[in-house]
């Protein structure tokens, strides 16, 4: 794992796993994860990954729920391998629930708000679940988005100060199969929910239409250098420096003394040797490394083409002398 990735890992309070491909997934475990990020078309957005595989994107500029998706959370690869500020890729099939405008209206559904102020979010300590805090035309609002089942999305709005005008919530309905409202809320038109001035709390429960699309990961990478960086670099350097295992500098065609079944054996680090070192790391142990941490069995994580790519990468390394 390279330094950039490590730095990123320390910055976010959740675990990132390097998968067998170019993905660096942010994993959500038993606490919600709130990740400020850049996504395509939204230079500032906040992604929330909830335990149980429900995720959503919130736009703090318009204070709107943009989209939701079920399953894995975010692919962190663009941040980890790029120069930063690259769009992150939400995984899964995204369902759009946002409008282009500010979804909350005060007084009437066609009154586009003049003032929208985002004030951040409050994290519930036990679960990590965020409530977004903002004010629309001076009316303070707290919004939470939850899911209680497959394809189910619950939008919860709380109004901490009593109001004088009804509030309206406006959303995109193409992905919605059914919409249920808490008491005293009504739907004056499709996509609009009217919350009376007297209500301090509102819940909008959406059941999404099933989707025909299914989520397919990108092809695992066959970039040898990237595979090296993710799977081998923690133990093997390229510059002659010693880590847990021998350096890869000057490896190719170099003579080796290995111990095989307790017998010392002279070998040349050719393709067959390197391949065996990767596929059966315990078969022949490089002299001097008998007591080192054992090399991991990589065949569980990498496919054949990826191992080919790694072998080609090692073969293509320039000898350190030149
Ligand atoms: C946990 C540390 C560790 C990781 C991760 C690791 N190795 Fe190793 N590797 C070792 C050790 C220790 C040795 C020396 C002992 C032996 O021969 O098994 C070694 C030996 C080797 C050798 C023989 C080197 C020589 O100088 O003769 C090759 C080739 C090799 N590893 C390739 C890889 C590749 C490719 C990866 C990534 C896919 C990798 N290793 C990941 C620890 C590791």
Q: Is the CB of 129 under 6 A from ligand 1?
A: no
Confidence at residue 18, expressed as pLDDT on a 0 to 100 scale? 39
Closest Cα to residue 89, out of 8, 135, 35, 153? 35
User: Tens digits of per-residue pLDDT, 296-314?
Assistant: 788 877 889 989 999 999 9
Confidence at residue 86, expressed as pLDDT on a 0 to 100 scale? 60
Please, are residues 235 and 218 in contact by the beta-carbon 8 Å criterion? Answer: no
Name the residue at shortest CA distance from atom 41 of ligand 1. Answer: 232
Q: Is the CB of 256 under 6 A from ligand 1?
A: yes
The residue whose two tokens read 């004010």 is 135
Q: Is the CB of 131 under 6 A from ligand 1?
A: no
Maximum pairwise Cα distance, the chain: 88
Q: How far is CA 106 from CA 115, 141, 158, 228, in A?
A: 11, 11, 14, 56
Closest Cα to residue 176, out of 99, 239, 229, 262? 99
Name the residue at shortest CA distance from atom 36 of ligand 1. Answer: 232
Q: Is the CB of 295 under 6 A from ligand 1?
A: yes
Distance 322 CA to ligand 1 centre (A): 23
Q: Is the CB of 310 under 6 A from ligand 1?
A: yes
Of the pLDDT bands very low, low, confident and very high (cuts 50, 70, 90), residue 195 is very high
Q: Is the CB of 269 under 6 A from ligand 1?
A: yes
Average pLDDT over the chain, rounded to an integer: 84
Q: How far is CA 6 from CA 10, 21, 37, 223, 227, in A?
A: 6, 18, 18, 20, 16
Q: Is the CB of 112 under 6 A from ligand 1?
A: no
User: Tens digits of per-residue pLDDT, 208-225?
Assistant: 999 887 766 556 667 788
The residue whose two tokens read 């065996």 is 276
Task: Indicate the Cα dihedral angle 186, 187, 188, 189, nearest 10°.
Answer: 180
Q: Is the dihedral of CA 76, 78, 82, 86 positive or negative?
A: negative
Among 36-45, 117-126, 200-209, the least confident range: 36-45
Confidence at residue 37, expressed as pLDDT on a 0 to 100 scale? 79
Confidence at residue 23, expressed as pLDDT on a 0 to 100 scale? 52
- Spell out the residues 6+ positions from residue 166 whose beta carbon is closer than 8 angstroms to its own: 106, 107, 194, 195, 196, 197
The distance from CA 184 to its chain's CA centroid, rounded to whole angstroms, is: 38
Name the residue at shortest CA distance from atom 42 of ligand 1. Answer: 295
Distance 235 CA to ligand 1 centre (A): 7
Confidence at residue 250, expressed as pLDDT on a 0 to 100 scale? 87
Half-sphere exposure of 159 (CA within 13 A, CB side): 23
d(CA 17, CA 73): 12
Euclidean distance between the first and the last CA atom of the chain, given in angstroms as a whole number: 27
Counting ligand 1 atoms within 8 A of each CB, the residue from 20, 230, 244, 245 with the most, and so the one to mutate, is 245
The residue whose two tokens read 């692919």 is 75
Q: How far is CA 157 from CA 125, 146, 154, 229, 285, in A?
A: 19, 11, 10, 45, 62
Confidence at residue 85, expressed as pLDDT on a 0 to 100 scale? 56
State which ligand 1 atom lies nearest to the alpha carbon of 251.
26
Q: Is the CB of 285 under 6 A from ligand 1?
A: yes
Name the residue at shortest CA distance from atom 27 of ligand 1. Answer: 286
Name the residue at shortest CA distance from atom 28 of ligand 1. Answer: 277
Q: Is the pLDDT of residue 176 over 60?
A: yes
User: Tens digits of per-residue pLDDT, 220-251?
Assistant: 667 788 778 778 888 899 998 888 899 999 89
What are the two backbone dihedrals, phi and then psi, of residue 214, each rounded to the nearest 5 degrees?
Answer: -125, 160
Q: Is the CB of 253 under 6 A from ligand 1?
A: no
State which ligand 1 atom lies nearest to the alpha carbon of 269.
27
């Amino acid at each position: 794992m390279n330094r950039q990735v490590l730095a990123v890992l320390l910055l976010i309070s959740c675990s990132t796993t390097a998968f067998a491909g170019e993905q660096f997934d942010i994993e959500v475990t038993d606490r919600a994860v709130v990740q400020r990020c850049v996504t395509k078309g939204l230079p500032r957005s906040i992604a929330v990954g909830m335990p149980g595989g429900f995720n959503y994107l919130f736009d703090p500029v318009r204070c709107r729920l943009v989209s939701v998706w079920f399953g894995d959370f975010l692919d962190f690869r663009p941040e980890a391998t790029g120069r930063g500020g690259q769009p992150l890729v939400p995984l899964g099939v995204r369902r759009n629930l946002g409008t282009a405008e500010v979804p909350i209206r005060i007084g009437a559904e066609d009154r586009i708000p003049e003032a929208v102020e985002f004030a951040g979010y409050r994290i519930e300590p036990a679960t990590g679940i965020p409530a977004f805090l903002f004010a629309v035309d001076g009316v303070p609002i707290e919004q939470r988005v939850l899911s209680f089942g497959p394809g189910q999305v619950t939008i919860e709005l709380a109004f901490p100060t009593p109001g004088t005008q009804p509030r309206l919530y406006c959303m995109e309905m193409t992905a919605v199969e059914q919409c249920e409202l808490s008491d005293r809320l009504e739907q004056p038109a499709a996509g609009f929910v009217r919350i009376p001035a007297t209500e301090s709390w509102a819940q909008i429960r959406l059941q999404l239409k099933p989707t025909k699309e299914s989520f397919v990961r990108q092809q695992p990478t066959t970039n040898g250098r990237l595979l090296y960086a993710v799977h081998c670099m923690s133990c093997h350097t390229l510059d002659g420096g010693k880590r847990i295992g021998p350096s890869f500098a000057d490896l190719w065609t170099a003579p080796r003394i290995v111990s095989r079944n307790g017998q010392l054996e002279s070998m040349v680090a050719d393709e067959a040797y390197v391949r065996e070192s990767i596929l059966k790391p315990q078969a022949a142990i490089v002299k001097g490394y008998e007591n080192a941490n054992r090399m991991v069995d990589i065949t569980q994580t990498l496919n054949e083409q990826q191992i080919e790519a790694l072998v080609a990468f090692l073969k293509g390394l320039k000898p350190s002398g030149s």
